């Protein structure tokens, strides 16, 4: 039964599927933990009832209490020095048992100081005949008086429990490791901002401290390259080599100009050159907008391609080139937005301009790609409307009505 549980758990964690499912769900770690506990574990009421039943069995002697310290003889430490130290302490002294475990170099059979070293040291002191009740602790441990209710996994049959998803703490470690190794790329830190926050220190005093908050940016050159490779792998980009352009007949050149709604030059050489420009020129749409997340104002910059039948295939051409694949909307695929930059920002010009330097640097680095990118910049949440009306901040017409700003 235990082997079956282990095999099922290994399948659930195979190839880090659990991490992919968590990141695609849009849940926080707290939401993930709540769903995990409600789906695979007994309720709190059931756990309390089970614990009460177990405690009653222990009280009447039908069940032995669980021992958390194991065989005390297996632990290595200088017992004589420890006993002398404890006997020299006056009654009422404050004793931190975990500190004593480090002080007297408590080791388990593996040569490691156990995590519950304080609990073990207290048990060893009692085993040596020392009255541990005469000492006080730095803090009151409620676990000494109230047992913690632990929810067990739901039982499918005797000896077989329902396999659960990976624990939240292990999932958090996996995500942190992937972020550190850049397997999950959340971009680079940009535009640092210093905010003041309040914190209560160990003495109970309210203190003020500065916290540096960064925005996150995916380099534009990398974003455009990834976008182009994805579109090319999907088979929606026209891929015509220079040799093929030079070999185009005049009739074919005219048909291509008719398809894209452009006027064909009279010179065949000029027409081929202009057609090559149209079919290798990609329009990039960039826009930004503000929104509140947890009562904090954020600015988000998005990037996507603008559909152009000169650069991308039409739906009919895609179906003709891929007869075995399902029909798709090429425009919907190529205009899928991608996050370029996200960071805290007020609506003021000063805050928005704090991202200008890194964006200008990105524009310089994005030049010289395989295709000629034409950047169209918009503001607000209606880039399609602005594209048609010429609406842009600081332009001649800052609103849809044709009134100079």
Quick one: pLDDT at residue 2?
Answer: 59
Residue 3 vs residues 15, 39, 201, 286: alpha-carbon distances, Å: 20, 22, 48, 53
Quick one: pLDDT at residue 140?
Answer: 53
State phi, psi for 44 to the nearest 5 degrees: -65, -40
d(CA 394, CA 405): 8
Residue 306 vs residues 48, 286, 370, 399: alpha-carbon distances, Å: 60, 10, 17, 22
Q: Extract the residue ranges of the chain whose pLDDT is less than 50.
A: 370, 388, 392-394, 405
Quick one: pLDDT at residue 31?
Answer: 93
In sign, the C-alpha dihedral spanning 196, 199, 203, 206 is positive
Quick one: pLDDT at residue 6?
Answer: 65
Quick one: pLDDT at residue 405?
Answer: 44
Quick one: pLDDT at residue 294?
Answer: 76
pTM as predicted: 0.64
51-82 tens-digit pLDDT: 888 888 888 888 888 888 888 888 888 888 98
Helix (H, G, I), strand (E, B) or coil at 197: strand
Q: Of 235, 258, 259, which is closest to residue 334 (Cα–Cα)?
A: 235
Q: Which residues make Cβ contacts (< 8 Å) with residue 180, sequence separation at least 6? A: none
């Amino acid at each position: 039964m235990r082997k079956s549980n282990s095999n099922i758990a290994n399948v659930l964690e195979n190839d880090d599927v659990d991490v992919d499912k968590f990141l695609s769900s849009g849940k926080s770690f707290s939401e993930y933990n709540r769903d995990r506990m409600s789906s695979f574990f007994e309720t709190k009421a059931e756990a309390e009832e089970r614990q009460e039943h177990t405690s009653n069995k222990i009280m009447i002697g039908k069940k032995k209490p669980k021992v958390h310290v194991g065989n005390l003889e297996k632990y290595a430490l200088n017992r004589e020095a420890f006993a002398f130290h404890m006997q020299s302490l006056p009654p009422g002294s404050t004793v931190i048992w975990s500190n004593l475990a480090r002080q007297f170099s408590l080791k388990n059979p593996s040569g490691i100081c156990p995590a519950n070293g304080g609990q073990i040291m207290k048990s060893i002191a009692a085993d040596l005949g020392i009255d541990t009740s005469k000492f006080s602790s730095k803090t009151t441990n409620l676990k000494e008086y109230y047992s913690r209710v632990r929810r067990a996994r739901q039982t499918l049959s005797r000896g077989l429990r329902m396999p659960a998803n990976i624990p939240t703490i292990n999932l958090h470690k996996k995500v942190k490791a992937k972020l550190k190794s850049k397997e999950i790329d959340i971009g680079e830190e940009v535009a640092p901002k210093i905010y003041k926050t309040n914190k209560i220190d160990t003495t109970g005093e309210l203190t003020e401290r500065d916290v540096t908050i960064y925005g996150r940016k995916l380099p534009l050159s990398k974003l455009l390259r990834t976008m182009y490779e994805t579109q090319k792998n999907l088979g929606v980009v026209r891929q015509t080599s220079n040799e093929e352009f030079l070999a185009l007949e005049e009739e074919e050149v005219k048909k291509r100009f008719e398809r894209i709604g452009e006027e064909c030059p009279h010179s065949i050489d000029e027409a081929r050159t202009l057609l090559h420009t149209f079919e290798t020129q990609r329009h990039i749409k960039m826009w930004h907008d503000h929104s509140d997340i947890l009562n904090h104002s954020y600015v988000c910059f998005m990037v996507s391609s603008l559909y152009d039948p000169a650069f991308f295939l039409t739906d009919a051409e895609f179906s003709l080139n891929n007869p075995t694949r399902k029909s798709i909307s090429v425009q919907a695929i190529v205009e899928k937005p991608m996050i370029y930059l996200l960071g805290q920002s007020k609506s003021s010009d000063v805050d928005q301009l704090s991202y200008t330097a890194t964006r200008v640097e990105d524009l310089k680095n994005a030049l010289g790609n395989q295709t000629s990118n034409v950047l169209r910049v918009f503001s607000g949440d209606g880039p399609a409307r602005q594209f048609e009306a010429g609406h842009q901040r600081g332009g001649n017409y800052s609103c849809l009505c044709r009134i100079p700003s």
